Structure formats: structure tokens, C-alpha cells
Structure 1
Amino acid sequence: MSALERWRELRAATGPIDPDLLDALWADLEVVDAAAILGSWRGFAFPTGHPIEKALGASRWHGKRFDALDDAKPLICRAEDGTLHSDTTTGGGEASLWNVEFRGEVTATMVYDGRPVLDHFKRVDENTLMGVMNGKPRLVLADGRHFYFGLERE
């Protein structure tokens, strides 16, 4: 099965996903340059049971916006009135985009301003990215597992 077919299958999953499947898919995707991902992205969490899934749900996470390499908004959330805003409180500020090595590959990475957290990205296709949150283990790992998510270009 191709990486794109596996992506589609995992994207459609509603029950718990084994993080090993996400690790394997990540390994098969192409790296992407930070400058190539500028724009607005709608996000979703892969249902693995990672605690960050609940936190994002509670914040009404909509996605991410990359206005420039030095102007990234990691937590675009939907307010009660339906408007979108950058939640700088939960994320500890905003972020910037860099090309950073992760698991032996250099790929687009969002570096949070106020937290020791990095979101690495790989390309699924021109309008879809897979993301994995990395950083201080006490902040991002659950039972030794990373948080995986997807972004779809708006």
C-alpha cells in the first residue's frame, strides 16, 4: 500500500490508531521546506489517545497559520462567536518556521516562542501535511509516544 493510501486510511479512522502505524507512515513521507508551507491550514489530531488531543479539543483548535518564516501562529482557535483567533495563552506565544533535523532528515519545523516544543512537518501532497510534536518529553510525550496531527491547506 502506498503512503498516500495509508494516509487516507488513517485519516478516515475514528477509533484508536496505533502510533506505530503513524511512525511508519511518517518515515515514508517526503520532507518539505519551511518556505513551501506558508499559508493557512486546517488541523486535526490522529485519534491515538494522546492527552494533547483533549487539550486541542477544549481550546477549539482550528489549525495553524504561517504568515512568514518569522510569523507563525500554532494555535488558531474558534471563539464562541465563530471567529478565529491566535491563542497565544495556551501556546505560550506564537512561533517561527525553520528547517530542522528530526529522525535524521531536515524538514519544515515550527518552533514555539514560549515553550520547548517543535512541530515537524512532512508532505503528504501539495495541500496536505503530516505533523509530529516534539520537544521536552514531559510536555509532549505520552507513554513515550509523540502526538501526531494533520494539516490541510485552506
Structure 2
Amino acid sequence: MSGDTPPVGERWRALRAATGPVDPSELEALWADLQVVDASSILGPWRGFALLTGHPIEKVLASGRWHGKRFDALDDAKPLICRAEDGSLYSDTKAGKGEASLWNVEFRGEVTATMVYDGMAVLDHFKRVDDHTLMGVMNGKPGLVLAEGRPFYFGLERE
């Protein structure tokens, strides 16, 4: 990281606060500077949000009332915790085609916590922003996850 580049936390806060589209190259640069995280260290409930790039998954998650993710155990991860009309939370196994598990997987030359979906060729890779915040990159086959070759970027905050 050059001396002219703001600290990771400052860059994250600016991207998190953005109300309009974020340049994916800024997200890629931030991702490269974040620390990897071990799958066993991220267990628990997380509140999620899209980092707005115009990716089609942003609208899908908003219409499904996506709340976040829950990692109950390495072999028991819930990728789509959504809010029902009555305000209750549920795991949307229909949209997610099942649930998921957590693994430490190599992505872009680094081994980091990764959620592997049970029913789709989708991987969510995570890196640590701070002790309570993760950045995620949803990766998968073109047409399923990748839009114009770009993954979906999101954040998680520990509940």
C-alpha cells in the first residue's frame, strides 16, 4: 500500500457509505489489502448489505428482503437469512437451493474463509475489515453470479 492510499478502515467506511454506484476496481483494490480470515473464526449471525456496483444480484437480494448470513457451524451455514412480512427471520432455502458450509479455500492466491453453497455453483469468499466486519465476494459461474465478468461484492457486520 502506498503512502498516498488511505488506511483500509477509512476506505471501507467511504465505500460502505456510498449511496450511488461504486467502481468495482475500488472494491478490488480494497479486497487485495484486507486480511484473510479463518472459517472457524466467523461463526455466528451476520447482518449483510450490498456494496452497490449495479450488479443484478443487488435487486434480487433486495426483493427477497435479505437480512444477512448465519454460520452456526462449519457444516451448517445459512447464506440467505431473509425477513418475512411479519418481521421474523428465516433461512430462504428455496432461493438458495439449500444451505451451505464454511471452508478455508484458496481465492486469488490466498486461503480465506469461504461459504460453499449446497445447491449452486456459488462461493462467497470473506476477508476481515475489522473484528466485527467482513467483506465478501460472491463468485461462481458466468450467468449465475458473474455479471459482465464481475462478482457481487457485499459486507457483513457481526450481530
1:117 maps to: 122
| 1:26-72 C-alpha deviation (Å, 9 max, x unpaired) | 00000000000000000000110000000000100000000000000
CA distance in 1, matches of 2:56, 2:143: 12
The one of 87, 92, 95 aligned to 1:82: 87
The one of 12, 24, 33 aligned to 1:28: 33
Tell whether 2:48 aligns with 1:43.
Answer: yes
2:16 maps to: 11
- How many residue pairs get aligned? The number is 154
| 1:87-125 C-alpha deviation (Å, 9 max, x unpaired) | 000010000000000000000000000000000000000
The one of 90, 97, 116 aligned to 1:92: 97
CA distance in 2, matches of 1:47, 1:80: 24
Q: CA RMSD in A?
A: 0.4
The letter for the 2-side match of 1:99 is: N
Provide the secondary structure at the position in 2 that maps to 1:139: coil
CA distance in 2, matches of 1:98, 1:50: 25
Provide the secondary structure at the position in 2 that maps to 1:138: coil
Provide the secondary structure at the position in 1 that maps to 2:59: helix
Structure 1 residue ranges, 4+ long, deviating more than 6 angstroms after superposition? none
Tell whether 2:151 aligns with 1:146.
Answer: yes
CA distance in 2, matches of 1:90, 1:19: 26
CA distance in 1, matches of 2:143, 2:109: 22
| TM-score where L is the length of structure 2 | 0.96
CA distance in 1, matches of 2:36, 2:147: 25
The letter for the 2-side match of 1:6 is: R
**How far off is 1:136 after superposition?**
1.1
Identical amino acids, percent of aligned pairs: 80
User: Which runs of 5 or more residues in structure 2 are unaligned?
Assistant: 1-5
1:126 maps to: 131
**How far off is 1:135 after superposition?**
1.2
**How far off is 1:137 after superposition?**
1.6
Provide the secondary structure at the position in 2 that maps to 1:115: coil
**How far off is 1:81 after superposition?**
0.3
CA distance in 1, matches of 2:67, 2:30: 23
**How far off is 1:24 after superposition?**
0.4
